[in-house]
Amino acid sequence: MSAPMNTSPDRNTKVMNRFDLTSRLVTRLKNEEAVVGGIGNTNFDLWAAGHRPQNFYMLGSMGLAFPIALGVALAQPTRRVIALEGDGSLLMQLGCLSTIATLAPKNLTMVVMDNGIYQITGSQPTPAAATADLVAIAIASGLSNSSWAADEEDFERLIEQSLLTDGPTLIGVRIDDKPGTGTTRRDPVQIRERFMHGLGVRQPL
Amino acid sequence: MAAAETAQSWHEIVLNTLKRNDIRLVPYVPDRVLTPLIKNLHADSFFNVFPTAREEEAVGIVSGAWMGGMRGAMLMQTSGFATLANVLASLVVPSQIPLIMFVSERGTLGEFNLGQSLVCRTMRPVLDSLAMEHHTCTRLDEFEFVTDRSIKQAITTQAPVALILSPLLTGGKAFDK
């Protein structure tokens, strides 16, 4: 269908694919970085990219991928933490951008997957689709190190750069209207427990 | 009597009990009644204490920190609690996260705002519907026991708890003139 994706003329960013970008991201992780996947397609594609013990998959609580990742980043300042969030989800919790800017964790990378639609509920446009620029909102919230990725290579470069930067980074990517590739196993206790093992907080029984 | 003279205030009990239980991370959305507690937490370098834009955000932060090995607790008022049903039901309870919540109780015992008194009535039904542990703290002489035991129970049983700070304990918010 012709989903109303972000097409404002001031953007020269390529429309990419969530699963492809998530796979590119996961491939680059060599230091047991924590990854928090937001509700729905964002964590489905994280799951599909290959489960890692350091992955946390959100099953509800829409909009909390960045706050959860912030909590992990504060608890483990020497570990890099990456959060993947959808545009509709971020719209639910824009205030968290200011909180993160104020606390300025050195080890947090945020990725916004922006297709301008609620794909999973029937591809309805978000209220921001035709008007708002989420990266501009992030910058205005105090996250000065925020930018759109122009294409896949630029995304990889921005990720690489963020892993070496002493401060929070936000990367916006325009994505297509494809659904998630896999389906996360919806077992919240096991997801939480395995994540804690992956972060070295607990040992398995 | 010397013991009475040296008795801690309710907010000193909260601060000291958090510290004793190694709870360092304290995000909050403020409330007038919580002001002395928030001020003293900010003044103590043991704590990482900061405001969030919404209570839900604080739940996410404390949950993430718990999974990363750092203990936290959050502060809010009754109307803030009323925004949490979704995150409690979809993250905290099913994931078995020991979220420790201090809720300054507005809406009762001299409330002057009808909206506050109505929203207050939604709090305990939400807690009960999720079978969440909660205590309404009314007495200073019991408060340290309730707080300390509740924190320890939350952590050891991996279950959230809400400690509701009644105006009987804190004095509440005085009527607007």
The set of residues, in sequence order, having a beta carbon less than 8 Å from that of A177 and lying 6+ positions away, is A1, A3, A5, A115, A117, A119, A123
How far apart are the CA of A167 and the nearest CA of chain B, in angstroms?
18
Tell me the C-alpha distance between B18 and B72, whole Å: 9
Inform me whether the C-beta atom of residue B6 falls under 8 Å from chain A C-beta atoms: no
In A, which residues are within 8 Å of B52 by CB distance?
67, 95-96, 99
Q: Find, among B173, B134, B150, the residue nearest to B13 by Cα.
A: B150
Q: Per the domain annotation, does A107 fall within a domain?
A: yes
Q: Per the domain annotation, does A204 fall within a domain?
A: no
The pLDDT score that the predictor gives to residue B131 is 98
Show the domain range for A79: 18-198
Q: How far is CA A172 from CA A149, A196, B119, B137, in A?
A: 6, 28, 38, 46
The pLDDT score that the predictor gives to residue B4 is 53
CB contact under 8 A, A72 and B57: no
How far apart are the CA of A106 and the nearest CA of chain B, in angstroms?
15
Interface test with A, best of B95, B96, B97, B100 (most A CBs within 10 A): B95
Q: Per the domain annotation, does A205 fall within a domain?
A: no
How far is C-alpha B47 from the chain's CA centre? Answer: 15
Of B50, B60, B95, which is closest to A103 when you measure between CB atoms? B50
A104-156 per-position pLDDT tens digit = 999 999 999 999 999 999 999 999 999 999 999 999 999 999 999 999 999 99
Least-confidence region, from A6-15, A175-184, B150-159: A6-15
Find, in chain B, the residue whose alpha carbon is nearest to that of A191: B95
In A, which residues are within 8 Å of B54 by CB distance?
93, 95
Instruction: Provide, rounded to the nearest whole percent, the portion of chain A with pLDDT above 70.
Output: 95
The pLDDT score that the predictor gives to residue A3 is 47
What total of structural domains would you count in chain A? 1
Inform me whether the C-beta atom of residue B157 falls under 8 Å from chain A C-beta atoms: no
Tell me the C-alpha distance between B8 and B15, whole Å: 10
Burial of A14 (0-12, 13-18, 19+ CB in 10 A): middle
Structure tokens at B11: 């907010």
Mean pLDDT of A165-180: 97
> Quick one: pLDDT band at residue A11, thresholds 50, 70, 90?
low
SS3 A81: strand
- Please, what are the averages of pLDDT over each run of 10 residues along chain B (177 residues)? 71 98 98 98 98 98 98 98 98 98 96 95 98 98 98 98 98 75
Q: Per the domain annotation, does A2 fall within a domain?
A: no
In B, which residues are within 8 Å of A94 by CB distance?
53
Q: How many CA atoms lie within 13 A of B8 on its CB side?
A: 14
CB contact under 8 A, A60 and B66: no
The pLDDT score that the predictor gives to residue A2 is 45
Please give the span between the terminal C-alpha atoms of chain B, in angstroms, as a whole number.
36
Q: Per the domain annotation, does A1 fall within a domain?
A: no
The CA angle B88-B92-B95, to the nearest 5 degrees, is: 140
Any alpha helices (H) in A143-205, and if so which ranges?
A: 152-164, 188-198
The mean predicted confidence, pLDDT, of chain A is: 95
Q: Per the domain annotation, does A118 fall within a domain?
A: yes
Interface test with A, best of B67, B87, B88 (most A CBs within 10 A): B67
CB contact under 8 A, B69 and A199: yes
CB contact under 8 A, A188 and B67: no
pTM reported for the whole predicted model: 0.96
Answer whether residue A9 shows pLDDT above 50.
no
CATH of the domain at A126: 3.40.50.970
Give the CATH class of B2-168.
alpha beta
CA-CA-CA-CA torsion sign (A24, B69, B160, B163): negative
Q: Per the domain annotation, does A59 fall within a domain?
A: yes
In B, which residues are within 8 Å of A199 by CB distance?
67-69
CB contact under 8 A, B53 and A98: yes
CB contact under 8 A, A93 and B64: no
Residue B44 near residue B32 (C-beta atoms within 8 A)? no
Q: Per the domain annotation, does A129 fall within a domain?
A: yes
